[in-house]
Every structure is written in structure tokens, then in C-alpha cells.
Amino acid sequence: MIRITLSLLLLSCFLLSACSTRDLQDSLNGSTSQRLVTHSIDDLISGLTDTHLDELRDKKVFINSYFLSDSTLKSYADHRLSIELSRRFGADVVNSQAKSESVITVFYTSLGTDIDSFGISIPFGYVPGVDESTKLNILTLEKFHGISEMYYYIGKTGIENRSKVVQAIVKTDALGLPFITIPLSNIDRHETDSWF
């Protein structure tokens, strides 16, 4: 009897093996992924602290930025950086390096989302007519992250004074059970004061 129980337990563990997967998101379909990445960009830019940025007050500054591709995320991050330099650091952001007194050369190393899944699930991708990523969660931790990361050079020509790498991660996690997913965190950022 003990052998049968042990055999069934081992067979169950083999069939319901624990796994970990990561899915990199290359599109921003859905509000959650859009909010995760835009909140992480906002946290990244608003968290910038550097004495060289403080020295930009009343100076004309040109932003020269790079990413793997000219995407809408890069454009969004550039605009967010431009507003932060103007409002918080008092810089006059210009659209030409020839008109500038200082240049900030930005290298975005990450602007995106990813999904991690840890735990026990039963894959159904082998069933004909079912998407290969379909699975039934037994007990999983689903982690959905928005990640923004950058470093920059700042100075007269934009190649002086390298910053450290700065990163911001916004997370939303959930507990995956059979037929239900329970949110463990929330990415809502409602302002506490209302204007109406």
C-alpha cells in the first residue's frame, strides 16, 4: 500500500511539475501593460537626482537619446524627461544641439514589460486546437512588471559626466489558482485630491 501511494505521489509530481516561465512583451496591448510601462517611466524620470542636473537651471539643453528602435515608448520617455528637466531643474529644453549650452545624451536600456510565472500548472498546448501557451494553474505566482532603465552623459557636448544606471520597476502580482486568479497587488495611482 505504501509503494502504491509513493508511486502515485511521484507520478503526480512528475506530471504536475513546477515550472518557471518568462514572457517578454513586445507590444503594449491592454491597459495593464501600458500603465505598467508608463508608470515605470514616470518613476524613473521623477527619481533622477544628480548635481549635474541641478546645474542646468536657466541653461539651454538639448536631449539626444538612443534606444534599440525609435518607438513610441522612446518618444514618450523623451517628452517625460523634457518636462522634468524644464519643471524641476529649470532647464530650457531646445530642439537643436547648435542652440544648446549643455547636452544630455540618454541611453535607454529598457522600456517595456515582462511576465514571470512560478509554480505548478498543467500545460494544454499539446491538445489539438488549443493555443500552445494555454495552461491550467494549480498554484502559481504571476508577476507582471513594467521596467524602465537608463543612463546618461551630461555636459557641454553630451559625452561628459556619465551617470549611474538608474532603474524603475512597477509590479502587479497575482496568485493563480484553478479557474481564478487573485490579485496580490494593485497598480492604481489615483490622486488623493480631486479638482471637482
Q: Which domains does the chain have, with CATH numbers?
A: 20-113+145-170 (3.40.50)
Phi-psi region of 8 (alpha: psi -120 to 50; beta: other; left: phi over 0): alpha
Q: What is the pLDDT of residues 114-172, one digit of tens each?
A: 888 899 988 887 888 888 878 888 999 999 999 999 999 999 998 999 999 999 999 99
Q: What is the pLDDT of residues 63-121, one digit of tens each?
A: 999 999 888 999 999 999 999 999 999 999 999 999 999 999 999 999 999 888 899 98
- CA-angle at 44, arms to 195 and 82, nearest 5°: 70
Element (H, E) at 86: helix 72-87
Tell me, what amino acid is at 180? I
